């Protein structure tokens, strides 16, 4: 039974128990709880799953950021001589930073081109369980793409600044 009451659930349950047993019938009132408590219990597993997926997504983004930072730093270290020559010829700090950041964003762009259709395919089965989340609309993909681009730019900025600070003379003597 679902009963609407303006009072406390416990008081209403006690009154219902008295009225149901007064009729002499064998009626068992198992549990009385508010709709808020019932909904909280029903949504416990989906909320826990969503929290776990959020934590995994954050951990994945952190690992990807660290990996991209390492890859760009390694690439810059291997190209010290080339960057030194560019600086010696007249490249500005802004040009060097821009080039390194563009290359990192290009790497992320390739991953994005492969990952976006894959994400669309993977999300189809989950769309029924994400009530009201709009998982099949464009906005989650746009938001995640923007976050991915910002993360790539941030992860590549420190190695790019380090590359721009290369002394041309020491870079040419290197190796």
Query: Could you please report the per-residue DSSP string of the chain?
Result: -----SS-HHHHHHHHHHHHHHTT----------HHHHHHHHTHHHHHHHHHHHHHHHHHHHHHHHHHHHHHHHHHHHTHHHHHHHHHHT--HHHHHHHHHHHHHHHHHHHHHHHHHHHHHHHHHHTTTSTTT-TTSSHHHHHHHHHHHHHHHHHHHHHHHHHHT--HHHHHH--
Residue 25 is part of which domain span? 9-39
Tell whether 3 is covered by a domain.
no
Q: Which residue has the higher pLDDT, 83 or 28?
A: 83
Confidence grade of residue 4 (pLDDT, cut at 50, 70, 90): confident
Residues 79 and 136 in one domain: yes
What pLDDT score was predicted for residue 72?
85
Q: By the 8 A CB rule, do 55 and 139 touch?
A: no
Question: Is the predicted pLDDT of residue 156 greater than 70, yes or no?
Answer: yes
Residues 76 and 145 in one domain: yes
Residues 19 and 72 in one domain: no
What pLDDT score was predicted for residue 168?
78
Tell whether 1 is covered by a domain.
no
Closest C-alpha to 86, from 32, 12, 160: 160
Residues 104 and 70 in one domain: yes
Residues 76 and 151 in one domain: yes
Tell whether 4 is covered by a domain.
no
Question: Is the predicted pLDDT of residue 5 greater than 80, yes or no?
Answer: no
What does the pLDDT look like over 42-52, one tens digit per residue? 888 888 888 89
Confidence grade of residue 55 (pLDDT, cut at 50, 70, 90): very high
Residues 65 and 116 in one domain: yes
What pLDDT score was predicted for residue 59?
95
Tell whether 2 is covered by a domain.
no
Question: Is the predicted pLDDT of residue 133 greater than 70, yes or no?
Answer: no
What pLDDT score was predicted for residue 144?
83
pTM: 0.66
What pLDDT score was predicted for residue 162?
84
Q: Which residue has the higher pLDDT, 3 or 131?
A: 3
Tell whether 86 is covered by a domain.
yes
What pLDDT score was predicted for residue 24?
65
Neighbour count for residue 39 (Cβ, 10 Å): 11
Token match 């190209």: residue?
79
What pLDDT score was predicted for residue 63?
93
What does the pLDDT look like over 71-109, one tens digit per residue? 888 988 888 888 888 888 888 889 988 988 888 888 888
Tell whether 144 is covered by a domain.
yes
Distance CA 38, CA 41 (A): 5
Query: What does the block give as tokens for 123?
Result: 């999300």
Residues 29 and 48 in one domain: no
% residues pLDDT > 70 (the chain)? 87
- For the chain, the domain total comes to 2
Tell whether 96 is covered by a domain.
yes
């Amino acid at each position: 039974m679902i009963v609407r009451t303006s009072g406390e659930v416990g008081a209403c349950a006690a009154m219902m128990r008295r009225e149901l047993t007064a009729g002499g019938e064998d009626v068992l009132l198992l549990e009385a709880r508010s709709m808020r408590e019932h909904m909280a219990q029903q949504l416990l597993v989906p909320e826990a799953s969503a929290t776990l997926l959020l934590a995994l997504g954050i951990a994945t983004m952190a690992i990807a950021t660290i990996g991209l930072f390492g890859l760009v730093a390694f690439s810059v270290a291997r190209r010290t001589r080339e960057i030194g020559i560019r600086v010696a010829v007249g490249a500005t700090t802004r040009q060097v930073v821009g080039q390194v950041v563009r290359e990192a964003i290009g790497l992320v762009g390739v991953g994005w081109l492969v990952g976006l259709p894959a994400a669309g395919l993977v999300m189809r089965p989950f769309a029924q369980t994400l009530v009201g989340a709009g998982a099949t609309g464009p906005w989650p993909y746009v938001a995640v793409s923007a976050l991915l681009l910002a993360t790539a730019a941030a992860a590549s900025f420190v190695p790019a600044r380090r590359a721009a600070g290369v002394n041309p003379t020491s870079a040419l003597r290197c190796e």
